[in-house]
Amino acid sequence: MHTVSFLVNKHKPWIETSYHGIITENNDTVILDPPLVALDKDAPVPFAGEICAFKIHGQEMPFEAVVLNKTSGEGRLRAKSPVDCELQKEYTFIIQAYDCGSGPGGRNWKKSHKAVVHIQVKDVNEFSPAFKESVYKATVTEGKIYDSILQVEAIDEDCSPQYSQICNYEIVTTDVPFAIDRNGNIRNTEKLNYDNQQQYEIKVTAFDCGQKHAMEDVLVRINVKPVCKPGWQDWNKRIEYKPGSGSKPLFPSIHLETCDGPVSSIHTTIELQTNYIGKGCDRETYSEKSLQKLCGASSGAIDLLPSPSATTNWTAGLLMDNNDMIFKFDGKQGAKIPDGIVPKNLTDQFTITLWMKHGPSPGLRAEKETILCNSDKTEMNRHHYALYVHNCRLVFLLRKDFDQADTFRPAEFHWKLDQICDKEWHYYVVNVEFPVVTLYMDGTTYEPYLVTNDWPIHPSHIAMQLTVGACWQGGEVTKPRFAQYFHGSLASLTIRPGKIESQKVISCLQACKEGLDINSLESLGQGIKYHFNPSQSVLVVEGDDIENINQALQKVSYINSRQFPTAGVRRLKVSSKVQCFGEDVCISIPDIDAYVTVFQANEPKITISGTDHFARPAAQFESERGVTLLPDIRIVSTVTKMEIVQTTNKPGVLEEMLHNLDFCDVLVMGTELDPKQECLELDHAELQGKHLDATNSTAGYSVYGVDSMNNYEQVLRQIRYRNWDTSATFDRKFRLKCSELNGRYTSNEFNLEVNILHSSNSNLMDHVNHMIVQPQFLQSVHHPEGSTSAVHNSVVPSVATIVIIICVSILIFIITLGVYRIRTAHQHSSADNEGSKENEMDWDDSALTITVNPMEKYEKPHQTEEESDEEDIEDEEEDTTSAESDESEEEEEDEEEEEEVIVQKRDKQKVTRQEQLEWDDSPLPY
């Protein structure tokens, strides 16, 4: 056994005193300068001259050193884990070298001195530039070149100056008038124009110094505003208005731009221009009489310009404006009021009312323009009273007669008003309480500026002529003619003898149904003053705070309370004056020109229904009360709403609507009533508590006034027809027609035929009834025109009567059999046809039947289930014996003292009757 001897380890290893290294991030190799080499003077002695380790001193250093060759002492420094430059750019630590000691166990090892290692982490361009903002916004004024509109800025998370710095910016969007520099400043390359383009959207990218561009481009939004021009902003030129929508704001977002001017006060006028609609605005186009009743005026007003009709024909030759009862006078027309329309003596109290639109009179020294004139009809040319325009002055002339007073008294009253010649509609009321005369114009009182006196007129027996639109010149000319013609438009000209009108009624009569309004008056800002004109077509708003003025104008609304307003446009004009501190007017605000579009209301369809044919014995017509014409009359108004209904998929939905009527006429068809033997009557007590009046003539009965359909029904059901000499009369035909808004909406024409049954008719029909078999389903009759003429003979020889009865019985039996076969054939095919009879024929329990021509074409309307069941039962009972039929008829005859016969007579050219015959619910063509 031999012993190994170990050498003594005399020397320490030696290394450099400092090292500099570079490592690329995300790599593990460190390049050191100088290289890592340890030397030992004990070499080449084993162990003592060899290098076994390099040790690093430092807290949690991400590096380690390994020995590559123990003999040569070469080592390598490497990263234990990836190194991130963005976390730490450099590291400094201590390193020492260790030899292998004096033996294989590493005993007595020696270490070198400490060396400093400084390592820099080399950056990799791993991050792209990113912009600080997601969107950049800027606003520029048109017409300017900017050095810098705004600056965009991007950042890069790389750690090195090369890769973390942004070296360049670039606009990605092409063909835009902008450029960007390397610092991100955007400028415009040409002057921008607001009218051409109000906003630009451009995309911008950034590059780092390693030429890596941003992952996402940034959006830059540049708004162009016009050069500051004072004026109202954010308003719409067109405002839409649907009927029934109440009060609608005109300018809900409006505000005033003053361009930072030192404003001290603002004065704004909003004007609704409606002078081209009707009488200057959307007023209800009811007749003046109806309006006066609605407004509570005392009765007795006489309409001098009524709509032309058979009874008011003096306006037939005048020019009219559509359907609004407006008459245009072109300086060539006048109308004579018939005698008896206006009393000759108006007394000391009376009222004249009118609507007038008048412009400046032609010529330097204009002639008088007559509105109303009462002058001598012949011989002389005296004006007893007159209302006329002269040189834009309104003059009222009133000459008293000598028998009333023989003193010098007021005779001419003059008013000078700009409105007389402004070509717009105004409402004039002349209240006469002699010797005081007061003028109301648009509800405001005006006293005459000049009153001239004159002597009374000498009494004479010359008749007087009342005229409108010109004055009648009965004397001082070779041929009587009109003179002093009126140029302009007139409407609702009335005269009320014996009474003057109150201020309240006058205001109601001229009230406009449309106008301006302010929502939430209580929320108007401090210091806001406002003022409406009487018709609420002009609103003036004043204030010293711009924001309060803005809020006030945002609350200005348009309102139209008519149920059926006049469709079309209403122009709006907003004019403003701004005052600045120390100056009168410093800023000029352009006017606003806008308009309200009023849509067409859903038009109503007025339908009249009821029993349209009946017969009564002559005795009832000759009785004191007569016969009620329209006992079950029904007036219904519907409107078609354009909505899609899911269940039916039909575009139109009928919906019943409530509104007023303003007249219903019961007209006599054919020959007018003979006042010696017949008349229409109505108890005037029926009109009490309603806004209704009635007039009666041989042509018919008129009920008029603005009132509900229900009230009209109640009154119409009480109209009676009397005929106290019926021997020559066998039937009468009437026609009923109703209207809303003075004929703007009219009902259907409801035709009524009334037959007068004489005793000869009843006797003959009794015989016929007992000799024929009456099928139970046959309950009503129809005679061709003239077929009843034979039964009017008062005397028929007994033999002839028997022969006629036998012939008629056979004929009727054949006809009845034919009707039954036709009806049976159509029984199954008619179940789906529409329409069922609402109003049954008035039989008055009569068992008498007159048959219809079975060969006439007929169609069976739709039946309800109940009606179908009844007809099925009737079919089962059709085979009952004639004895049973006769027996039941005899029982009915015992109970009835008088029998009524329904004789249906129709002209073959006439349209199909609305209310169908009861016997099979079928419409029969006449």
Return the C-alpha torsion angle 35, 38, 44, 48, nearest 10: -160
Q: Which residues of 733-768 are buried (b: 16+ CB within 10 A; e: fewer)?
A: ebebbbbbbbebbebeebbbbbbbbbeebbebbbeb
Question: Considering Cα of 378, then 381, then 384, then 388, what sign does the dihedral take?
Answer: positive
d(CA 506, CA 448): 18
Of 84-88, 240-244, 452-456, 888-892, minimum mean pLDDT range: 888-892
**Can you tell me whether residue 24 is helix, strand or coil?**
strand
Confidence of residue 710 (pLDDT cuts 50, 70, 90): very high
The secondary structure of residue 912, as a DSSP letter, is: P
pLDDT of residue 613: 93
Residue 791: pLDDT above 50? no
Q: What's the whole-number mean pLDDT along residues 718-743?
A: 89
C-alpha 23 chain-centroid distance? 81
d(CA 529, CA 308): 48
| Long-range contacts, stretch 695-702, CB < 8 angstroms, 24+ apart | 695/311, 697/311, 698/668, 698/672, 698/673, 698/674, 699/310, 699/311, 699/667, 699/668, 699/672, 699/673, 700/665, 700/666, 700/667, 700/668, 700/734, 701/665, 701/666, 702/663, 702/664, 702/665, 702/666
Q: Say if CB 613 and CB 753 are below 8 A apart.
A: yes
pLDDT of residue 501: 80
The first and second tokens of residue 365, run together, are 């020294």
**Can you tell me whether residue 717 is helix, strand or coil?**
coil
d(CA 878, CA 867): 16
pLDDT of residue 862: 42
d(CA 16, CA 19): 7
Confidence of residue 639 (pLDDT cuts 50, 70, 90): confident
Confidence of residue 651 (pLDDT cuts 50, 70, 90): low
Q: What's the whole-number mean pLDDT along residues 63-82?
A: 91
Residue 785: pLDDT above 70? no
**Residue range 855-876, pLDDT digits in tens:** 443 344 444 444 444 444 344 4
Mean residue pLDDT of the chain comes to 79
Q: What's the whole-number mean pLDDT along residues 457-468?
A: 82
Residue 594 CB partners (closer than 8 Å, separation 6+): 235, 236, 237, 238, 239, 250, 571, 572, 574
- Element at 549 (helix H, strand E): helix 546-554
Q: What's the whole-number mean pLDDT along residues 502-513?
A: 80
**Residue range 337-356, pLDDT digits in tens:** 998 888 887 778 899 999 89
Confidence of residue 842 (pLDDT cuts 50, 70, 90): very low
Q: Say if CB 83 and CB 23 are below 8 A apart.
A: yes
Residue 300 or residue 235, greater confidence: 235
**Residue range 479-505, pLDDT digits in tens:** 888 888 999 999 889 998 887 887 788
Q: Provide the pairing of β-strand 335-337 with 538-543.
A: unpaired
Give a three-class secondary structure readout of 883-897: HHHHHHHHHHHHHCC
d(CA 122, CA 27): 10
d(CA 167, CA 260): 42
Residue 334 CB partners (closer than 8 Å, separation 6+): 370, 467, 468, 469, 470, 471, 472, 482, 485, 486
**Residue range 145-201, pLDDT digits in tens:** 999 999 999 999 888 888 888 999 999 999 999 999 999 999 999 999 998 999 999
pLDDT of residue 922: 38
**What residue type is 884 in one-letter code?**
E
Q: Say if CB 534 and CB 441 are below 8 A apart.
A: no
Q: What's the whole-number mean pLDDT along residues 40-53?
A: 87
**Can you tell me whether residue 419 is helix, strand or coil?**
helix
DSSP string, 61-82: -SEEEEEEETTTTEEEEEESS-
DSSP string, 502-542: -HHHHHHHT--SEEEEES-GGGPPTT-EEEE-TTS-EEEEE
The first and second tokens of residue 288, run together, are 């003046």
- In this structure, the number of other CB atoms found within 10 A of the CB of residue 35 comes to 12
**Residue range 656-668, pLDDT digits in tens:** 888 889 889 999 9
Maximum average pLDDT range among 400-404, 681-685, 765-769, 844-848: 681-685
Q: Provide the pairing of β-strand 514-518 with 154-155.
A: unpaired
Question: Considering Cα of 579, then 584, then 586, then 587, what sign does the dihedral take?
Answer: positive
Number of H helices and E strands in the chain, helices first, is 10, 61
Q: Provide the terminal-to-terminal Cα distance of the chain, rounded to the nearest Å.
A: 156
pLDDT of residue 56: 92
pLDDT of residue 909: 37
Residue position matching structure tokens 């080592």? 75
The values of phi and psi at residue 217, to 5°, are: -75, 155
pLDDT of residue 405: 57
For the chain, give the number of residues: 926
d(CA 518, CA 193): 38
pLDDT of residue 401: 66
**Residue range 224-235, pLDDT digits in tens:** 988 888 899 999
Residue position matching structure tokens 């004789």? 903
**Can you tell me whether residue 688 is helix, strand or coil?**
coil
> Among 331, 371, 365, which Cα is nearest to 487's?
331
d(CA 31, CA 77): 8
Q: What's the whole-number mean pLDDT along residues 641-666?
A: 70
**What residue type is 485 in one-letter code?**
Y
C-alpha 915 chain-centroid distance? 36
Residue 280: pLDDT above 80? no
Q: Provide the pairing of β-strand 514-518 with 556-560.
A: antiparallel
Q: Say if CB 464 and CB 374 are below 8 A apart.
A: yes
Angle subtended at Cα 892 by Cα 891 and Cα 894, rounded to the nearest 5 degrees: 65
d(CA 679, CA 688): 22
- In this structure, the number of other CB atoms found within 10 A of the CB of residue 298 comes to 15
Residue 383: pLDDT above 70? yes
Residue 536: exposure state from Cβ atoms within 10 A (0-12, 13-18, ≥19): middle
Residue 910: pLDDT above 60? no
Residue position matching structure tokens 């003596």? 345
> Among 207, 259, 204, which Cα is nearest to 230's?
259
Residue position matching structure tokens 């048959």? 851
Angle subtended at Cα 91 by Cα 87 and Cα 94, rounded to the nearest 5 degrees: 150
CA atoms within 13 A on the CB side of 823: 21
Q: Say if CB 509 and CB 297 are below 8 A apart.
A: yes
pLDDT of residue 871: 43
Q: What's the whole-number mean pLDDT along residues 89-108?
A: 86
The first and second tokens of residue 513, run together, are 């149904």
Confidence of residue 66 (pLDDT cuts 50, 70, 90): very high
For the chain, percent of residues with pLDDT exceeding 70:
78
d(CA 698, CA 235): 61
